[in-house]
Amino acid sequence: MIVTLIVICEVSFWVLLAAGLAARYLFRLQRTSVVLLLCEPLLEIVLLIATSIDLRNGAKPDWEHGLAAVYIGFTVAYGHYTISRLDGWAAHRFADAPPPPKPPKYGLPRARHEGKLWLRTLLAGAVACALLQLAIWYVGSGTTAAEALRLWQMFSLNAIAIHGVIAMTYLLWPKKAPVGAAQGRRGDG
């Protein structure tokens, strides 16, 4: 049941996003667009409540409960970023706005960009680990049922660590701009 709800939430996220952007840029319905886009966080609240009810009704904590926590953490950390980026591209495509800036490609600006993305991953992992810890306390930390949730905590911590190492490589070994490339444009410095 939880996996089905996660899939429904993910599909609903993209449907609401498309509907919100279409309302804003194709139909010029600003208020409707705002309402549709503000419904996005409700999806995660529904998933959190459904997962809690499932555990309260005696469901054995399993991988799908951990997946729900990781999904919620990812959406909290990357949801607004994703919506903002797609809104910028929709504004460019349908409202004659300039294209949104691309991430920098070279040097310290690229390292800074990767560091900011890693901070989002850190937030996603922290939210997931916190939700998982609450679930562990709820079902009893000494039970074998809590082990599946602890594995998801380790998964989240590993994702944070791996992304941190990747982000650090951009700082330690920055990619240099090709010779003759205009430096400083769009943060490529």
pLDDT digits (tens, 9 = 90+) for 144-183: 778 989 999 999 999 999 999 999 999 999 999 998 865 5
Spatial distance between the Cα atoms of 124 and 121, rounded to a whole number of angstroms: 5
76 closest CA partner among 122, 107, 113:
122
pLDDT tens digits, one per residue of 57-112: 888 888 999 999 999 999 999 999 999 999 999 999 999 999 999 999 999 999 99
What is the rounded average pLDDT of the residues 43-49?
Answer: 94
Spatial distance between the Cα atoms of 186 and 164, rounded to a whole number of angstroms: 24
Give the count of beta carbons closer than 10 Å to the beta carbon of residue 33.
20
Spatial distance between the Cα atoms of 79 and 83, rounded to a whole number of angstroms: 6
Token duo for residue 47: 């998933």
Spatial distance between the Cα atoms of 126 and 128, rounded to a whole number of angstroms: 5
Please name the residues in contact with 128: beta carbons below 8 A apart, sequence gap of 6 or more: 69, 70, 72, 73, 74, 152, 153, 156
